[in-house]
Amino acid sequence: MNLGATPGDGATEFLVWAPEAKRVDVALVAPDRRVVPMQEQDEGHWSARVEGIGVGARYMYRLDGVELPDPASRFQPEGVRGPSEVVDASPLDLGRWRGLPFRDVVFYEVHVGTFSRAGTFDGVTERLPYLKDLGATALEIMPVAQFSGSRNWGYDGVFPFAVQNSYGGPAGLRRLVRAAHEVGLAVFMDVVYNHLGPEGAVLGRYGPYFNDAYRTAWGSAFNFDGPWSDGVRRYFVENALMWLRQYGMDGLRLDAVHAIMDLSSHPFMLHLATEAHAAAEAQQRPFHLVAENDRNDMRYIRPAWEGGFALDATWADDVHHAYHVLLLGEESSYRNDYRAVSQVAKGFESGLIYTGERSAFRRRRHGSPTRGLGRERFVTFLENHDQVGNTQAGARIGHRASFEGLKATTAAVLLGPGTPLLFMGQEYDEPAPFLYFVSHEDPELVEAVRRGRRTASTSSGSSWLTK
């Protein structure tokens, strides 16, 4: 059984991990109201089969008398505090689509809520022919896991399995992926396995999902190596496999993997890669895992037999920094590490710039050698959501650089040895800024975010710290 609610044959199977609970029930909300006791299974799981309900039914779990949404909910139609809804969990029909080799990937990163006037998956779907004509081969979607409110960058998701209701929910995303494949575009989903958003989260109430021995920039780290961590790992591995099977995704962009704390002998990143690649092989198509890795740590993309975690590629943020300084000559915080034109050549040659050299900003050696790794495994860019949204006023690089310099560096990204990525609107120098935004319901939280962003806009440090 899969975690969450799985409909079929006139009934729905429910499975939830709640290892510390004494009693768990399914509390149906619609189409009728009733409470069905769940049976305790192995390793803290609880299950129930409920006859006579299917897609569209809404429910909560009653955890020792307290009603909460399903932590593996696929849809939260009424938001983060409302009931969960049973959705079609069948695999997406791929038709003739059999995936895309990573060497052929040209990423185009989009935010669903701002890429079209509609701000929905269907709005993105309408623009797919344009992206195909542009030359993109892969759509990279910023996170759509359910967050509080209707507008958000996506990195404040609190239900990792649930597709954002204000974007069109699971059905809208399935339509988008199917349409993308029909025009020959791969689809990658940006996922966050290092933290939850600050409003509406329920995972910690179900069990030991967090390990207080570690801290991240966003609070407690997920429990990938402590007691009960097998259940936490299962949760996130199933999440990755859901994007592959239920939505037909071609890969994942893994947010801030350096903030995934794990000192176990079998690292979660390797566990995830092994399971995901095996599932993709069973479907006879590739499934690519791309890391955002602030440490320039090549263990993430080296094969297991070299002591690596077997991911497929990594974002090359410090190549972006070198281009940025070359174009704008800015002197600030970590970008002071990128003053030499020769560093651009190093990026071409090695995929990254800091591969073990001393960083003045970090006051230590930074990165590890990239020898033996194909240059296509380094995703390069002049813009992405972080590097635009975390600048003052969300300004794009094209607003500040010379046109000749912009043309030259764009050509270097597109024609260089790395895998190129364009951020939405970059190709025509979009005049609108891309600012950080949220629509949390708690006024005090909104004010806290506002203060934090003001501080972040004037402080030094890597962009991932201020997501």
- Residue at token pair 């934090």: 452
* Separation of alpha carbons 328 and 318, rounded Å: 15
Q: Which of 4, 369, 364 is nearest to 162 (CA)?
A: 4
Residue 42 CB partners (closer than 8 Å, separation 6+): none
* Separation of alpha carbons 232 and 204, rounded Å: 11
* Separation of alpha carbons 94 and 282, rounded Å: 14
* Separation of alpha carbons 138 and 108, rounded Å: 6
* Separation of alpha carbons 273 and 271, rounded Å: 6
The reply to whether 255 belongs to the active site is: yes
Residue 462 CB partners (closer than 8 Å, separation 6+): 294, 317, 334
β-strand partners of 34: 28
Q: Is residue 267 helix, strand or coil?
A: coil
For the chain, how long is the longest CA-to-CA vector? 69
Residue 200 CB partners (closer than 8 Å, separation 6+): 79, 80, 81, 147, 148, 158, 159
* Separation of alpha carbons 131 and 129, rounded Å: 5
Out of 25, 238, 292, 297, the active site residue is: 292
- Residue at token pair 């404040």: 156
* Separation of alpha carbons 284 and 18, rounded Å: 35
Beta carbons within 10 angstroms of residue 265's beta carbon: 5
Q: Is residue 388 helix, strand or coil?
A: helix
* Separation of alpha carbons 182 and 435, rounded Å: 32
The reply to whether 225 belongs to the active site is: no
Task: Give the single-character DSSP code of 438.
Answer: B
Out of 109, 156, 255, 262, the active site residue is: 255
Mode of pairing for the β-strands spanning 251-254 and 186-191: parallel
Active-site positions?
255, 292
